[in-house]
Structure 1
Amino acid sequence: MFLPIVVGVDGSGTGLRAVDWAADEAAVRGAPLRLVYASLWERYEGGHLTEDLHKPSEEIMAEDIVESAARRARGRRPDVRVSTAVLPEEPEYALVRESQEASLLVTGARGRSSLAAALLGSVSLTVAGHAHCPTVVVRGDLDDRAGAGAGAHGRVVVGVGEKPAGSAAVRFAFEEARRRGVPVEAVRAWRCPAYETTDHPLPAGEPARLHEQQAVEALEEALRDAPAGVESRRRTVEGRTRTVLVDASRDAGLLVVGARRRPGHFGLQLGRVAHGVLHHSACPVVIVPEPG
C-alpha cells in the first residue's frame, strides 16, 4: 500500500499550484492524495477562492477550502484517489505530524506581503526544517495543462553535499528522475579560500585545481551506486553552493537538496544551502532528510 502524498492547502494561489503539482506527482507514483487544511482560525479570507465559490470572503470556511482544492485535484487527475482533512491546530505542527505517515509532503511558497511573496512563507520554511519525509516547496511557474505530467518539466538537479556517500537526496533524485523519464544532473560547487591564492606555497593556480578535483571526486562518490537506466550528468562549478544551485534551477524541473536531521535538536534543521534555495529557486525544491 502506497503512503499518501500530503498537501497543505490554504486557499492561496501558491497553495493551489501546490495542489496541481502534487496531483501530477500522485498520478506518476500511483499514490493517493491527502489534502490538509489546518488552522486555529475559523475562517480564511482568500481572494482566489472568493472568485471560485462566488461567496464573500467572510463566508469561506475551512471545508470550502479543502473541497475546492479536492475538486481541482480530481479535475486535473481523475485517476488519483483524493481525501481531505480539516485540523483545528497550527499548520506547522499538523503538517509535521502528517509527514510521519506520508511519502511526500507538499506546500506552496507563500509570503504575507508583496515583498515576502518573492520569498518563502513561514509555514513552508518550518515544515521543511522538521518534516519526517521529503518535503516539496512548489516554487516557479508551472504548466497548468492537466495532461502536462511530471516528465514534461525538465531534468532533476541534485546538490551533492559534504557527505556524498549514501546520500538520501541523491537516491531520491534518481528515483524521481526514473519516474519522470528525465536525466539527473549532480552538482557540486567548490571554492578556493582566499588565503590559498596568496600565502599558500603551491604554484599559482594549483590550489584551485585541487579544490576542483576534490569536487569531482565527491561527485564520483555520490554517484558510485547510481541505478542503471537513468541518465546522469556531473557538473562542478566554482562559486557559492546556494548561488550555483539557484542558477541550475532556472531551467530544471526539480531541485533536490539534503538537510541533516540532528537527534535532540529542536531548532530549524535546515542548513544555509537548503535555506537559501528554498527562498530563491526558480523551480520546485525537495528537501530530503539526511541522517545526522
Structure 2
Amino acid sequence: MTLPMVVGVDGSEPSLRAVDWAADEAALRGVPLRVVYASLWERYEGTSIAEDLAEPDEQVMAEDIVDAAARRARRRRPELDVSVEVLAEEPEYALVRESRGASVLVTGTRGRSGLAEALLGSVSLIVAGHAQCPMVVVRGNHDNQARTGTHGRIVVGVGEKPAGSAAVSFAFDEARRRGVQLEAVRAWRWPAHETTDHPLMAGEPARLHEQQAVEALHAALQDAPADVESRHRTVEGHTRSVLVDASRDADLLVVGAKRRPGHYGLQLGRVAHGVLHHSACPVAIVPERA
C-alpha cells in the first residue's frame, strides 16, 4: 500500500509554502498528495466569502481553501495525484490521526507577519509532539513561495543513541532522493563541574567529550549507503544552537523525537522544540521508538 504525503493547510501564506514543499516531495517519492483542512467551525475568523451562498459560510471557506491549495499543487507538479479533505474538528487531533496513514506529514509555520512566523504555531508544535510518521515543518522563507533546494546538503542531528536511528535513516533516504550530501552533526560540551583530575582528561579536559562525539557519529554512519555522499562534524556548544547554525546552509534539518508508548504528554525534546522555533530551513521531526 502506497501511503500518501499529507499536508495540513489553513489558507495562510506559510501553509501555501508547505503545499509547495509537499508537492515537490510527493513527486520525488512517487506518492499521492492529500491536502487536509481541519477546524471547528465556530473558531473561524474574518470576513465571510460566501454571504450569498446556501451552504454554511465556514464550510464554503474551508472548501475554497483546500481547492485553492490543490490547484496550486497541480500547477507546480502536474503529474501529481492530489486529493482534498475538509474535517470539522480540532486540527491538532485531525492531523495526528492523519499521521497514522501518511508517509510524511507536512505543515507550515503559523502567522501572517514576519514577527508572527518567528515562532512556531501551537498546532504544528502539538502535532510534532505526537505525530506517528515523520513530520516536516516548512520554515525558512517569509514570502509565499517554497524554494527548491539550493544548498545541496541535508543535515541530521545525531543523538545519544545513534545506532539504528530512524532520523539518520530518514536523512539518508532524503539525501539519496535529492542526490545531495548528508552531513551528520553532533554537538558536545565539557561540563563546567568536571575537573582535570581524571587521567584521561589531564592536560586536555575537552578531549574525552569530543572523542565521544566522534564515536557517536561513526556509529551513526557505520551503515551509510554507498550511493550517498556523507560527512560528519563535531561542534562544541549547545545542541540546539549548533543545529540552528547548521540549518542556515542546509535544505533540510532532520532530528529525532522519542515516542514512549502509553505516554500522552508532548513527546518532543528540548532540541527538537528549539529547532522547530528557530531553524532557517525546513525541519523534519522523525519519531524514535523507545
Q: C-alpha distance in 2, partners of 1:213/1:120?
A: 35
The residue number in structure 2 matching 1:285 is 283
Bigger shift: residues 35-44 or 94-103: 35-44
The residue number in structure 2 matching 1:54 is none
Q: C-alpha distance in 1, partners of 2:207/2:78?
A: 53
Other structure's SS at 1:62 match: helix
The residue number in structure 1 matching 2:10 is 10
Q: C-alpha distance in 2, partners of 1:288/1:108?
A: 16
Q: Is 2:163 aligned against 1:165?
A: yes
The residue number in structure 2 matching 1:240 is 238
Do 1:43 and 1:60's aligned partners in 2 also have CA atoms closer than 8 Å?
A: no
Other structure's SS at 2:129 match: helix
Q: C-alpha distance in 2, partners of 1:195/1:137?
A: 37
The residue number in structure 1 matching 2:121 is 121
Q: Structure 1 residues 156 and 114, CA, compared in 2 at 3 Å: closer, same or farther?
A: closer
Q: Is 2:202 aligned against 1:230?
A: no
The residue number in structure 2 matching 1:272 is 270
Q: Structure 1 residues 205 and 93, CA, compared in 2 at 3 Å: closer, same or farther?
A: farther
Other structure's SS at 1:220 match: helix
Equivalent residue letter for 2:281: C
Q: C-alpha distance in 1, partners of 2:165/2:110?
A: 29
Deviations 1:73-108 (A, max 9, x none): 111110111000000100000000001000000000
Measure how far apart 1:221 and its partner are: 0.4
Do 1:45 and 1:58's aligned partners in 2 also have CA atoms closer than 8 Å?
A: no
The residue number in structure 2 matching 1:219 is 217
Q: C-alpha distance in 2, partners of 1:153/1:72?
A: 25
The residue number in structure 2 matching 1:187 is 185
Do 1:151 and 1:181's aligned partners in 2 also have CA atoms closer than 8 Å?
A: no
The residue number in structure 2 matching 1:156 is 154
Q: C-alpha distance in 1, partners of 2:203/2:110?
A: 44
Bigger shift: residues 200-209 or 236-245: 200-209
1:65-84 alignment, distance < 5 Å: 65-84=65-84
Identity %: 79
**Count of matched residue positions in the alignment of Structure 1 and Structure 2:** 283
Q: Structure 1 residues 99 and 174, CA, compared in 2 at 3 Å: closer, same or farther?
A: same
Measure how far apart 1:153 and its partner are: 4.7
TM-score using structure 2 length: 0.90
Measure how far apart 1:2 and its partner are: 2.0
Deviations 1:173-232 (A, max 9, x none): 000000000000000000000122566566554220000000000000011111111000
Equivalent residue letter for 1:183: Q
Do 1:138 and 1:285's aligned partners in 2 also have CA atoms closer than 8 Å?
A: yes
Q: C-alpha distance in 2, partners of 1:133/1:263?
A: 14
Query: CA RMSD, aligned part only?
Result: 2.5
Q: In structure 2, list runs of 5 or more residues that go unmatched.
A: 51-56
The residue number in structure 2 matching 1:53 is none
The residue number in structure 1 matching 2:93 is 93
Do 1:197 and 1:205's aligned partners in 2 also have CA atoms closer than 8 Å?
A: no
Q: C-alpha distance in 1, partners of 2:43/2:235?
A: 48
Q: C-alpha distance in 1, partners of 2:200/2:169?
A: 37
Q: Structure 1 residues 152 and 80, CA, compared in 2 at 3 Å: closer, same or farther?
A: farther
Q: Is 2:266 aligned against 1:253?
A: no
Bigger shift: residues 189-198 or 160-169: 189-198
Deviations 1:52-91 (A, max 9, x none): xxxxx98961000000111111111101110000001000
Do 1:151 and 1:182's aligned partners in 2 also have CA atoms closer than 8 Å?
A: no
Equivalent residue letter for 1:117: E
Measure how far apart 1:154 and its partner are: 2.5
Q: C-alpha distance in 1, partners of 2:289/2:203?
A: 36
Equivalent residue letter for 1:80: L
